[in-house]
């Protein structure tokens, strides 16, 4: 962790699940950040957890607070563009929850504005710091599977009932599973393999009463590699979340990161053992190494969202590249919009 003495005073734009679970605990733990408070519209909850901070009555009150240097835009997707633009125009750095924006045009405008203002703008793609994905990334980078042929990343669960959060089930430009969980697996795929040459997609509504896409399957076309991205709510029996097939071998890994479960249960992140997956969640490597066929479990990397916030700290204090850039967000939105077009027109969309 950095030994820099500079403190970045940071405000949240909401203190619901994302603020309470994914942002505040890590901002509070990191010695380089100080939470000034959160915009709270109805429920005033942040001072129960952090008595010394403010409950801001409006976005304007945050933007007018000269102490605030960084703003976490963790509101529904449809508001990301409007709020982030105001934050940047006020001269403050911004971290924006996924999906970056509701449209590609909005993402490009925010990227250009941040560059023009000389401000840091990052998308909160915390799943890059999940233990399961970090393990997959390590296996891919080692090259032990030979030339990769087929990859599947899936984010599926069994919860066919509608979400209690109305904004997630109301048809808007920002709603639907593709822009919610789909943005995670899309970001992971682009982080590992770069931009594909074309996209094909199948988007569906499968839950009774649903009005937004709640199932997606994307096929990303590279020169020789095909990457399949899947998500849905009807997988009662879990299959491996990551399936990597190469000419030499395979790697299968379940979704096993424990950070969200621990945070929801009220545990606070720490730097000593945060966060170790159970042995039974370890991935299976079956490949050929030095002429020998091996099939073994692979110890899982440790996940830690604190590393994302350290990256944000370094980007502001030492002008390093953001841990997830606005350009990364633009690329993810490029894939998502291509997927929507592909599903609408039932064709492969070239990029």
**Domain around 74:** 8-126+307-320
128 burial class (0-12, 13-18, 19+ CB within 10 angstroms)? buried
According to the model, what pLDDT value does residue 19 have?
97
Which two three-digit tokens encode residue 139?
């296996």
Work out how many domains the chain is built from and give that number. 2
Determine, yes or no, domain membership for 89. yes
237 and 117: one domain?
no
Measure the CA–CA gap between 330 and 344, rounded to whole angstroms. Answer: 21
Are residues 95 and 72 in contact, defined by beta-carbon separation less than 8 angstroms?
yes
Q: What is the CATH number of the domain that holds 27?
A: 3.40.50.720
**Domain-located, residue 1:** no
Looking at residue 95, what is its pLDDT?
98
Pairing of strands 70-73, 93-97: parallel
65/207 same-domain check? no
Residues 85 and 174 in one domain: no
Q: Is the peptide bond before 275 cis (omega within 30 degrees of 0)?
A: yes
Please tell me whether residues 193 and 207 are part of one structural domain.
yes
Q: In the β-sheet with 242-246, what is the strand arrangement from edge to edge?
A: 292-298, 283-289, 250-253, 242-246, 148-156, 226-232, 215-221, 198-204, 349-350
For residue 326, being part of any structural domain is answered with no
pLDDT of residue 328: 98
pLDDT for 273 equals: 78
Same domain, 66 and 133: no
The reply to whether 74 and 49 lie within a common domain is yes
User: Do residue 299 and residue 153 come from a single domain?
Assistant: yes
Residue 53's CB: how many other CB atoms inside 10 A? 19
- Do 257 and 122 share a structural domain? no
pLDDT in tens, the chain (351 residues): 444 489 999 999 999 999 999 999 999 999 999 999 999 998 899 999 999 999 999 999 999 999 999 999 999 999 999 999 999 999 999 999 999 999 999 999 999 999 999 999 999 999 999 999 999 999 999 999 999 999 999 999 999 999 888 878 888 999 999 999 999 999 999 999 999 999 999 999 999 999 999 999 999 999 999 999 999 999 999 899 999 999 999 999 999 999 999 999 999 998 777 888 999 999 999 999 999 999 999 999 999 999 999 999 999 999 999 999 999 999 999 999 999 999 999 999 999
Residues 170 and 56 in one domain: no
User: 83-98 burial, b if ≥16 CB within 10 A, otherwise e?
Assistant: bbbbbbebebbbbbbb
CATH of the domain at 171: 3.30.360.10
HSE of 147, CA atoms in CB hemisphere, 13 A: 6
Q: Do both 21 and 57 map to the same domain?
A: yes
> Are the C-beta atoms of residues 87 and 63 closer than 8 Å to each other?
yes
In this predicted structure, what is the pLDDT of residue 5? Answer: 80
Residue 51 located in a structural domain: yes
Asked if residue 301 lies in contact with residue 135, where contact means CB atoms within 8 angstroms, the answer is yes
Residue 81, in any domain of the structure: yes
The reply to whether 78 and 156 lie within a common domain is no
At residue 260, the pLDDT reads 96
Q: How far is CA 348 from CA 143, 201, 218, 242, 291, in A?
A: 29, 8, 10, 24, 39
């Amino acid at each position: 962790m950095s030994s820099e003495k500079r403190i970045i005073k940071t405000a949240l734009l909401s203190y619901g699940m994302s603020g309470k679970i994914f942002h505040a605990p890590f901002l509070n733990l990191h010695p380089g950040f100080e939470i000034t408070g959160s915009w709270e519209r109805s429920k005033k909850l942040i001072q129960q957890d952090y008595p010394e901070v403010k409950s801001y009555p409006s976005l304007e009150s945050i933007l007018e607070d000269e102490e605030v240097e960084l703003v976490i835009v963790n509101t529904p997707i449809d508001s990301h563009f409007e709020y982030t633009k105001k934050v940047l125009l006020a001269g403050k750095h911004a971290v924006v929850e996924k999906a970056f924006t509701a449209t590609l045009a909005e993402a490009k405008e925010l990227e250009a504005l941040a560059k023009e203002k000389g401000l840091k703008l990052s998308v909160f793609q915390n799943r890059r710091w999940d233990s399961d994905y970090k393990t997959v990334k390590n296996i891919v980078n080692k090259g032990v599977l030979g030339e990769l042929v087929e990859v599947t990343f899936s984010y599926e669960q069994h919860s066919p009932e509608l979400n209690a959060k109305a904004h997630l089930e109301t048809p808007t430009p920002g709603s639907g599973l593709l822009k919610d969980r789909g943005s995670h697996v899309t970001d992971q795929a682009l982080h590992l393999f770069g931009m594909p040459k074309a996209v094909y997609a199948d988007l569906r509504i499968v839950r009774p009463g649903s009005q937004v896409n709640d199932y997606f399957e994307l096929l990303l076309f590279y020169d020789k590699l095909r990457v399949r991205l899947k998500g849905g709510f009807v997988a009662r029996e879990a299959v491996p979340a990551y399936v990597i097939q190469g000419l030499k071998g395979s790697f299968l890994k379940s979704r096993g990161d424990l950070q969200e479960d621990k945070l929801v249960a009220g545990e606070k992140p720490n730097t000593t053992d945060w966060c170790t997956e159970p042995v039974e969640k370890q991935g299976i490597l079956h490949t050929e190494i030095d002429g020998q066929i091996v099939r073994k479990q692979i110890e899982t990397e440790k996940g830690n969202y604190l590393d994302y916030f350290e990256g944000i700290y370094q980007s502001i204090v030492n002008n390093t590249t953001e841990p997830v850039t606005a350009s990364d967000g633009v690329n993810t939105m490029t894939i998502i919009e291509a997927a929507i077009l592909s599903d609408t027109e039932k064709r492969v969309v070239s990029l």
